[in-house]
Amino acid sequence: MITARKTFLPFALPLISEKAIEEVAAVLRSGWITAGPKVKEFEEEFARYCGADFALAMNSATAGLHLALESIGLCSEDAVLVPAVTFTATAETVCYFGAEPILTDVDPIYNLMTVETLKETIERECVFSKGNLVHKKTGKTVRALMPVHLAGAVCDMDALNSLAREYHLYVIEDSAHAFPATHKGRKIGTHGDFTVFSFYATKGITTGEGGMVTTRHAHFAERMKLMRLHGINRETYGRPGWYYEVVSPGFKYNMNDIAAAIGIVQLSEAEDLWRRRIEIADIYRSEFAQLPFLHLPLPAKDGDHSWHLFRVEVDTVQERMNRDILSAELHKRNIGSSLHFIPLYEHPFYQRFGFDRKNYPNADAMYKKTLSLPLFAGMTDSDIEDVVTAVKGIFSDL
Ligand SMILES: Cc1ncc(COP(=O)(O)O)c(C=O)c1O
């Protein structure tokens, strides 16, 4: 007999405090609901929190990735190194320019881009000629690499930065999962040339939809500021008079004050939200430590994991157990789970680039085994207990 929860427990939910709701109401009553003082305040607070020189709020991380690439002048003659295990946003923004995404494999433990996976890809697919890294198949110039801090474990940024310097590449960190992780003694947000955060509903902090780009480069910050609002050379809020000039065909990527009001409160609560995530990850790690056939995520190597996701790996045990069985059994008990991620080369769109699955043995192995269990700051003790009981029960029947 299976005991199921009365209500469905999704694998992620946002936790919005009354304070955030009050702040949103105040913005709604203020008469200024688009990009204005709240966005500015959020950017300043966020930059301070990360220790970043510049922070630019966007309406999504995808917009932030797009504008980071735009600001380095990416064009259709270029290519960018992207890990095979990520959400489509990382690579799709490269494709916006007609540029070539070159997929790297990931390490077998954290499923991250590493110097080893990069070197392997570069050796196989590129030549270094006249100071440029060139993609052999297309003749395109590799301009950047985009490490993804999957689940909230940060890539080895010193190693990636030094490889990037060697090949004259920009480093654009996809940090959608990593807020507010630390790495080598400091907060995420200052390691690469750009760090791009997501405030999507399920992330470490949320604004409903939203994103932020941090950078130390003043000229790139200026360019992103321009391009997030139609290429108009003056911001709307506080503009003296009606005059402005359009100096570039920009985008409509600005955050609004309603979202920023949520963001400011979420940021002030970030450490508490994070502490709860760490607590849940610790409980899972200790409760599931002895289960056979279930492999648990490790803490981050050079800092503190954000625990955006709790990704386990499930062994196949004849017909009795595998990742899909675990997911289905959890579902029978009214518990959600998810998969992060289907490797990009598996998707119909990315197949046009001719990726060969055999070049991605670690991504391929991950894809067969991985599953994300529920983990979010708003989980109650009894939600956690339900997951623990369910997982232990499922494995005890083996
Ligand atoms: C790794 C990764 N990068 C980028 C994004 C895009 O974030 P957003 O929805 O804020 O555009 C996501 C979204 O979940 C993601 O998981």
Q: How far is 387 from 398, CA to CA, in rounded Å?
A: 18
The reply to whether 369 belongs to the active site is no
Q: How far is 318 from 335, CA to CA, in rounded Å?
A: 24
Mean predicted confidence (pLDDT) in 1-7: 91
DSSP 190: S
**Is residue 329 lining ligand 1, measured as CB closer than 6 Å?**
no
Between the CA of 62 and the centroid of ligand 1 the distance, in Å, is 6
What percentage of the chain has pLDDT greater than the value 70?
Answer: 100
State the architecture of 18-268 in CATH terms.
3-Layer(aba) Sandwich (3.40)
18-268 and 270-396 share one fold: no
Between the CA of 321 and the centroid of ligand 1 the distance, in Å, is 31
For 163-180, what is each residue's pLDDT tens digit? Answer: 999 999 999 999 999 999
- Average model confidence (pLDDT) across the chain: 97
Q: How far is 146 from 226, CA to CA, in rounded Å?
A: 23
Contact 378, 15 (CB under 8 A): yes
**Residue 238: band (very low, low, confident or very high) from pLDDT cuts 50, 70, 90:** confident
Between the CA of 123 and the centroid of ligand 1 the distance, in Å, is 29
- Beta strand segments in the chain, E: 54-58, 78-83, 100-104, 126-129, 132-135, 141-145, 170-174, 182-183, 186-187, 194-198, 211-215, 294-295, 310-314, 370-373
Report domain extents, the chain: 18-268, 270-396
For 121-161, what is each residue's pLDDT tens digit? Answer: 999 999 999 999 999 999 999 999 999 999 999 999 999 99
Q: Is the pLDDT of residue 236 over 80?
A: no
Which tokens hold the place of 209? Answer: 């939809």
CB atoms within 10 A of CB 318: 7
**Is residue 112 lining ligand 1, measured as CB closer than 6 Å?**
no
Pairing assessment for the beta strands 170-174 and 141-145 based on DSSP bridges: parallel
Contact 137, 121 (CB under 8 A): no
Mean predicted confidence (pLDDT) in 289-299: 96
DSSP 321: B
Ligand 1 atom 16, closest CA:
87
Q: How far is 170 from 154, CA to CA, in rounded Å?
A: 17
Task: Give, for ligand 1, the residue of 149, 200, 262, 266 to mutate: max count of ligand atoms closer than 8 Å to Cβ.
Answer: 200
Q: Which of 19, 203, 301, 368 is catalytic?
A: 203
Q: How far is 115 from 106, CA to CA, in rounded Å?
A: 10
CATH code for the domain defined by 270-396: 3.90.1150.10
**Residue 239: band (very low, low, confident or very high) from pLDDT cuts 50, 70, 90:** confident
